[in-house]
Amino acid sequence: MWGGTPFEPFHYIPNTIAGNPFDPGPALVMITQSAALLGGGLLALRRRDFG
């Protein structure tokens, strides 16, 4: 088991090279959270007045 900290983004994805089984759940959660944050950031940027 890899001893990373919980603040590292890939801490929750199992290391399949070391023989751990792959579960797509944590990766899908991270992708969903990233998409939500990116979408929120783009919406906030759209509302900003650059002019």
Q: Which amino acid is at 48?
A: R
Q: pLDDT value at position 18?
A: 74
CA 33, CA 12: separation in Å to the nearest integer? 14
How do residues 5-47 score in pLDDT, each as one tens digit?
667 666 666 667 777 787 888 788 889 999 999 999 999 988 8
pLDDT value at position 16?
A: 72
Q: Is 26 strand, coil or helix?
A: helix
DSSP H helical ranges for 1-51: 24-47
What is the biggest distance separating any 2 CA atoms in the chain, rounded to whole angstroms?
54
Tokens linked to 30: 């991270």
Name the residue ranges covered by the structural domains of the chain. 11-37
Q: What is the pTM of this model?
A: 0.59
